[in-house]
Each structure stands twice: as structure tokens, then as C-alpha cells.
Structure 1
Amino acid sequence: MKKINFSKIIIMALIMMIAACIAILVSAQHYKEKRSPSAMSVVINESVGGIDRVIGVPFNFFQNKLSDLGHFMATYEQNASLSKQVTKLSDDSSDVSSLKAENKALKSALALQNTLTNYDKLSANVIVRSPNAWNDTMTIDKGKSDDLAQDMIVMSNGGVVGRVVQVNQTTSKVALLTSDKALESKIPVRLGTAENPAFGLITGYDAQQNAFIVTQISSDLKFNKGDAVVTSGLGGNSPADLNVGEIIGEKPNTKSVDREVYVKPAGQFSNMQFAFVIKRGLQ
């Protein structure tokens, strides 16, 4: 492809400018003398006009493209700005949702604390809850240095959720009552009313019904749906009258299976951020 000789273009442009100047001077002189333009002036004017149009085409093309590019860049910057605003709004929305969840958890913890005035208790943060052991265990940020001991009851979100099964210097492992594994330390409970109670043990969890399974019940007392279930205080580090849940049904005793009562948990296990370890009841 032949290269464009810009030097020749410049020379031609200068010649056209000179010719245009001459034509203007001649035309002006003829205008003063009220004479018609000479043939040479007409030819030069037409030639200059034609060449001007030819030269103007690429310049106009590039000018239009530059204008389009300017509009494109402006649109790009506007889109980038809008994208940043959308991202910021999304982040703000996530922060608000997180703050709302934390605020709800704090309110729940405060409400639970207000019901535990008769107990020596210690507040703790849930610091570890592994997805592969979500229903089995969690770790709290209190341990031996806070006078925690094994088998102490742990409460969260309104009810009993588990027991301390391992105590380290500054952390403790809690076995949750939602575990499908055998409970390391069964929790003794009281069913029915304080005037006419029955006693049993939480020995398992039914995931389909979302209910604790209470067995080894001390009597044939009939229960109603909605009857309260609380800790009995009859075993180990387990103070009495801590809220466990309410009865939702039962499976009768058979030759091969002991009577089972199903208890809906008072505490919510889905989002536990704060917990209380119950050390003992206050005298």
C-alpha cells in the first residue's frame, strides 16, 4: 500500500490558499468596479470549493468519530459511576441486614437474661460453629479462667440448647441437643405442672419434628400439647426450672419401645451468636 506523502499535501494546500487569496483579491476588485468575475476567478473559486469539499470529507469523518468517542466515554463513565452506586447500595443493604440480625440476637439475649435473675450465669459469644458439625457442637469464648465446668447447662435464644462437654483455658465446647449422635450427658427434665410433675431425660432429637425426645419418664401421667418442660435440677450441674420447651406429642409405650414424649425447643438453633452458661441457682 502506497504511503501518503504529507509534504505534497501541504504544498498543494499552500498553493490552494495562495490561489484562493488571489481569487478573493480579483473578485473584490471586480466587485468594486461592478464587473463580472473573470473566467479565471470562476475557475479558481470552483476548484477551491471542490478541493475544499474533498479535503473536508475526511476531516468531517474524523470529527464525527471523535464526537462519537466522546459520547461513548461519557456513557462509559456514567455506567461506571452507576455501577459503583449499585455496589455501594448492595453493601449498605448487607450491612443493614447484618446489623438487624445482630440487634435481634442481642434483644433475644437480653430477654433471656431478664428471665435468669435467680441463677449465677455467665454470658458468652459463640465463636466457632462448623458447618459439618452444625447440629452437633459449637465453641464459646469462656473456659476455665471463667470458672466454667463440664456438664454446665448452656442457654441461647430463649431456651436450653446444650451442655458444656469440654473446658479449655479460655474456650469451651458445647454439645447441642439437636445432635443426631448419642448425647454425652443426658439432661433431666420435669414435665407437666409443679404440683403434679413427671420426670424424664432428654435422650435424643427428632429432626423431622424438630423436637427433643424425652424418655425414661417416671410416671404414666397424661400430658397435653403445650405443657411446659423445664429442667428438673436432679442431676449434676443442672439447675431446676430452666426453660426447655413445650410438649407437641408422644409415642406410647410398647413392649419393645419406651414411652417417648416430643418437646418443641424453646430456643432457636439456627442463629446462635450469644449464649449463657448457667453455673448454679442462687439460694
Structure 2
Amino acid sequence: MPFFHKKRLFIFLIGFIILVALIGFSLRDRENPTSVEQFVKDAVGWTQGLVHAPIDYVTTVFDNIDDLQDTFHENQVLREKIAEYKGLFYDVQKLEEENAELRDLLEKANSIRSYIPIQASVISRSPEQWMEKVTINKGNQDGIKKNMAVITAKGMIGKIETRSKFTSTVKLLTGFDQFNRISATIAREDDSDIHGMIEGYNQTSEKLVFKIIESSDSDLKKGELVSSSGMGGLFPSGLPIGKVTDVKPDQYGLTRTAFVEPVADMYEIDHVIVVDREHDTGNQSGSGKDVTS
């Protein structure tokens, strides 16, 4: 039995020495590794490549997803910024337009010497009566009275229909009918003035109806300006109303009717001037009469 133990010990020592020798042999710097080493290295390299390829692919996919998410968020931020800049641009544009309108309105007020203008702003407009009425922020306490003329910087838009202490309702020219008439005239330098009445609004042609009651022999021309005559006792004279677009005689050829396009914009009304006729020192007499409902 001791012999076998010694034999096993001897074999173990020989194997250990051979293993150490192989390890030392493999650790030496050699230009040409053995076939076994080459095989092991190639196998390990191939295995590493096989493992790293899907890992690199998955890593690339996640990186691309992160990049897409970052790009998406950046696009959202940029869109919000662009929308904000557009809003600011429209606000500035609106302010510029409103500033220009107020400046024109101020110049119009300064040019009015025959009466005291009452400046007001539109505070509401009913969708059902968009082309008929607007509400302004001035009323009885501001000196507003019924049937006062209402104008913008471009021209006349209507008259005061009803008023309360702090607000008033303006009946627009586009809401006029046969019960709401304005004495009007086409003034000419050669004194061949044309007189008539604005007798309502034609919904089909979208024009004011100017019934001519007194005129010279000269023909009425398109583009001529129709203004308030002041002969009705309610409105001051010289308020621009509109320009002639068409003229039609009646079936008997005795009278003529002109269609007039308002000079003021009836769709966009923000600031107005209410005209106090009591301060008008112009013509107070005449044969015409403004009829109000």
C-alpha cells in the first residue's frame, strides 16, 4: 500500500512539473504560437465577435431611439417657440394696425371744428346682427344722445339707436331700411351738386341705396363721393358715407337711384367717434329730413 501512495505522489509531481513547464512555455514571447494556441485564440476571438455583434447592434438601436426622442423633444420646443413668435408677430401687427387706426381717428377728431367729438370703443357685436349693430362703451353720462352720427377715421358707419348710462347701441348703415334715412349730397366744385337720401341697404348688391331727388343736368359718375348734407337737422354736413358704384333710372326715367359702397369698413370696427350735432355751426336748414325709427 505505501508503494502505491508513493507512486501516485510521484505521478502528481511529474504532472505538476509538466503543467508548470507548459505554462512557462506559453508565457514566453514567441513569434509563432503553436497550432493549439492559434486555434484557441481564433475560437475565443470568433466567440467574442459573435457575442459583441448583437450587443453592439442593440446598443446602437437604443442610442438611435434616445437620439430620436431628443430630436422629438427639441422639435416640440422649437414648434412652441415658433408658435410663440408667430403670436407675438400677430400681436405686434394688430397693435400697429390699432395704433394707426387711433392715429387716424385722432387726426379726424382734430380736424373736426364744428362739433365736439366723443371718442368710444366697440365692446361687443352680436353674431346674429354682425352687419346691423354694435355696442360702444359710452352712454348717457358721456353725453351720448339718440340719433347722433357715428363715424370712424374713414367715414360714417351709422347712428346711435339706444343708450344706457354707460353703453350705447349703434345702428350701422348696413342695417338701415326705409325707416332710417340720411339726407346726403354729392358736392362738386362747379356747384352742380346732387342731393338725395340714403334710403337703406341692398342686401343683394351689398350697397347703400341713394335715391336722387335733386340734381343738375350733368351725369352722375362712378366713384363720386356721397356725404351727409346736414339738411336733416340730425347729422352734421360733410361726413363721408360712400362712393357711387352704379346708377339706375326708375322704370319711368324720372328719378335715378345710385348704389353706394360705404367708405368705412363695416366688418372691422374697433374705435369710433360719436358726433354731437348740437355743436355743429354749419347749415342747419334745408328741405330734407332724416327719418328715424
When normalised by structure 2's length, the TM-score is 0.73
Structure 1 residues 221 and 192: CA distance shift in structure 2, 3 A: farther
- Secondary structure of 2:69's partner? helix
5+ residue gaps, structure 2: 1-18, 282-293
Counterpart amino acid of residue 187 in structure 1: I
Deviations 1:126-179 (A, max 9, x none): 122233322211111111111111111111142111111111121111111112
What CA distance in whole angstroms lies between the structure 1 residues aligned with 2:154 and 2:194?
23
Q: Please, which of 267, 280, 283 is the counterpart of residue 264 of structure 2?
A: 267
Greater Rg by CA: 2
Structure 1 residues 193 and 72: CA distance shift in structure 2, 3 A: closer
Matching residue of 1:8: none
What CA distance in whole angstroms lies between the structure 2 residues aligned with 1:200 and 1:238?
14
Deviations 1:193-232 (A, max 9, x none): 4845453221122355553212261456545325443222
Deviates more, 1:154-163 or 1:228-237: 228-237
Matching residue of 1:61: 57
RMSD (CA atoms): 3.4
Identity of aligned residues (%): 24
State whether structure 2 residue 99 is matched by structure 1 residue 100: no
Task: Give the conservation status (yes or no) of the 8 Å contact 1:163–1:176.
Answer: yes
State whether structure 2 residue 180 is matched by structure 1 residue 185: yes
State whether structure 2 residue 237 is matched by structure 1 residue 240: yes
Aligned residues: 259
Matching residue of 1:32: 28
Q: Please, which of 145, 150, 159 is the counterpart of residue 146 of structure 2?
A: 150
Q: CA deviation at 1:124?
A: 0.8
- Secondary structure of 1:199's partner? strand
Q: Please, which of 69, 72, 87 is the counterpart of residue 68 of structure 2?
A: 72
State whether structure 2 residue 270 is matched by structure 1 residue 277: no
Q: CA deviation at 1:50?
A: 4.2
Counterpart amino acid of residue 181 in structure 2: K
Counterpart amino acid of residue 60 in structure 1: D
5+ residue gaps, structure 1: 1-22
When normalised by structure 1's length, the TM-score is 0.75
Structure 1 residues 121 and 28: CA distance shift in structure 2, 3 A: farther
Matching residue of 1:19: none
Deviates more, 1:265-274 or 1:222-231: 222-231
